Amino acid sequence: MNENNLSHIRHSLAHLLGAAILELYPESFLTLGPAIDNGFYYGAEIRDKVSEDDLEKIENKMRELAKNWTVFEKEIVDKDKAREIFKNNVYKNEIIDGIVKEDQEISLYTSGSFTDLCRGGHVENFKDIDMSGWKLDRIAGAYWRGDEKNKMLTRIYGLAFESKANLENYLDMREEAEKRDHKKLGKQLDLFTFSDLIGAGLPLFTPKGTLIRNLLDEYVWELRKKVGYEQVDIPHITKKDLYEKSGHWSKFKDDLFRIVSREGHEFAMKPMNCPHHTQIYARKSWSYKELPQRYASTTKVYRDEQSGELSGLSRVRSITQDDAHVFCRMQDAKVEMEKIYNIVKTFYQTFGFTLTPRLSLHDPNNMNAYLGSSEIWEKAENELRNLIKEKADTAIEAIGEAAFYGPKIDFMAKDAIGREWQVATIQLDMNMPESFDLSCTNENGEKERIIMIHAAIMGSLERFISTLIEHVAGIFPVWLSPVQVTIVPVRIEQHGEYANKILAQLREKNIRVEISNNDDSLGKRINSAKAHKVPYVIVIGDKEMESGNLTIETRTEKIEGIIIDDFIKKLENEIKNRTLG
């Protein structure tokens, strides 16, 4: 079954849910009931208190109503009739107003005795739906239109798939995903925290979490440095003039954290880095012989995300980007983008991710949403297509998903349990150099417009770390583990001195090692190290002291009789080669 048919099943079930809500809670006002990833929901203002204890009752009502549902009958109505039908429902009337404003037809769909305002997209016959392939899932609160100033409504969510087997597979995958939840593991492994005093969406990284961030950033920089990037540093705020010139102000000003100085000048916390980097390039005149210029910054950006959309590290307000921009001539774009492409591939292969490129294109029917002409966009998009083709990759093309200033390749990473995440980005931009009049002097002594390539390998460090934690289930490779070795003396009094000797030898080789010497039992101390996903646990007892050999527990096995020098060589090899497991 294709995704379109599955979407029709989910949308049809949303109608059924809406009908069940009105049957059970007749004084309710329905809002929107779309198909979503993995299922559907219907939002409503329900005057009765509804909890997840009521899901079974609502689902039973849906199944009862479904017996009398067959086809969806469409009716086109004018705005007056639509308003009359939904005269008591302020939410439906607001939707009608939006349809009228867009000069679109108003359509109603009826199945059974339930009629809803809807654009369509249903199954041909309700009997085609496998009734064992869906179930109601949960209840949540949501502000109308996602605006905290509006009333809090109730959303009832359902899961829906083409068969019972697919539903069960999804539930199994979700159970595994819950075990891997980065919010839970981040707390268990002491990687990051949040504070109500600081604010939602503003993560605080502990020493262990900061170590992981730094190691990841150093790896990206190692890959970039090999192909000629230079590091630059930029401030976290700017006058709004910069974003007015770049075009960001008119499109995103409501998403910015804005500041007014004591002199009355308006500033913004930067939500992106590219306009700042243009001004480093613009500091002087450039000969074509001096290009490309490649600037990289790992720096914070800030976006005023709505609180209801924030989630752990995957959606935050304070975002660390490993951002880079290449300023070059068009004839150099292919070579420069290939360098970035290779970095992306190398970086994600290190962690065992499978990558799929997605080409985000402009919508030719909505050119008002973009800077630049159709010709510029087509030229840029063809450059990206050719790059993907030469890399022997197959891209998903997504029309209308480009940024307003240029098309891009978004890399989708498939994790260990089959979920896809948007990670790295390569973007070809001919419009921002035009906005900022960025140029070089060519071979003929003439001024020549350059182009700009945006490149983020991790994108957001916070989001990448959340993805990585869930991908590896918190079991980081040795090179990335905050603690690589824990030494556990059987008895502190007898074995502590020898344990400290081993500690010193490992630290001399820059191995991250600690001793577990608290008052807990031996078993508890070993289990604590394993709970913190430490790759190697060395147990020191009488036998180890007498033989001079080590007993080591890894994540999967027990190794006995290894000498310290061989163990250090093994560790150094795993760290140097960034071995995955």
- The tens digit of pLDDT for each residue in 169-180 reads 999 999 999 999
> Are the beta carbons of 343 and 293 closer than 8 angstroms?
no
320 versus 374: which is more confidently predicted?
Answer: 320
pTM for the whole thing? 0.84
Helix (H) / strand (E) containing 41: strand 39-45
Peptide bond into 275 cis (omega under 30): no
228 alpha carbon, distance to own chain's centre: 28
Cα torsion 315, 317, 323, 328: sign: positive
The confidence score (pLDDT) of residue 405 equals 75
In CATH terms, 3-179 corresponds, of 3.30.980.10, 3.90.870.10, 3.100.10.10, 3.20.20.120, to 3.30.980.10
Res. 3 pLDDT band, cuts 50 70 90: low
Of residues 11, 61, 122, 454, which has the active-site annotation? Answer: 454
Of residues 116, 208, 248, 274, which has the active-site annotation? Answer: 274
Mean pLDDT score, 367-377: 80
The confidence score (pLDDT) of residue 86 equals 94
Residue 454, marked binder: yes
The confidence score (pLDDT) of residue 371 equals 74
Of residues 116, 323, 415, 429, which has the active-site annotation? Answer: 323
The confidence score (pLDDT) of residue 172 equals 94
Catalytic site includes residue 92: no
What's the mean per-residue pLDDT of the chain? 93
The confidence score (pLDDT) of residue 4 equals 66
Catalytic site includes residue 530: no
- Domain edges within the chain: 3-179, 186-472, 478-576
Q: Do the strands 152-160 and 192-193 form a parallel or antiparallel pair, or are they unpaired?
A: unpaired
**Residues 12, 416: Cα–Cα separation, whole Å:** 32
pLDDT tens for residues 511-541?
Answer: 999 999 888 899 999 999 999 999 999 999 9
Catalytic site includes residue 391: no
Res. 82 pLDDT band, cuts 50 70 90: very high
Catalytic site includes residue 323: yes
Mean pLDDT score, 139-151: 89
Q: What are phi and psi of 467, to 5 degrees?
A: -65, -45
**Residues 377, 581: Cα–Cα separation, whole Å:** 43
pLDDT tens for residues 207-265?
Answer: 999 999 999 999 999 999 999 999 999 999 999 999 989 888 888 888 889 999 999 98
Q: Which CATH architecture has domain 478-576?
A: 3-Layer(aba) Sandwich (3.40)
Residues in the chain: 581
Residue 122, marked binder: no
Check pLDDT > 60 for residue 276.
yes
> Are the beta carbons of 238 and 354 closer than 8 angstroms?
no
**Residues 376, 381: Cα–Cα separation, whole Å:** 9
Catalytic site includes residue 15: no
Catalytic site includes residue 196: no
Of residues 321, 339, 358, 471, which has the active-site annotation? Answer: 321
Of residues 294, 325, 358, 495, which has the active-site annotation? Answer: 325
| Residue 398, Cβ density class (10 Å: 0-12 exposed, 13-18 middle, ≥19 buried) | middle
Catalytic site includes residue 325: yes
Residue 11, marked binder: no
Check pLDDT > 60 for residue 85.
yes
Indicate the range of 70-79, 202-211, 244-253, 416-425 predicted with least confidence: 244-253
Q: Hunting for tokens 């779309």 — which residue is that?
A: 34
103 versus 12: which is more confidently predicted?
Answer: 12
Domain 186-472 CATH superfamily: Bira Bifunctional Protein; Domain 2 (3.30.930.10)
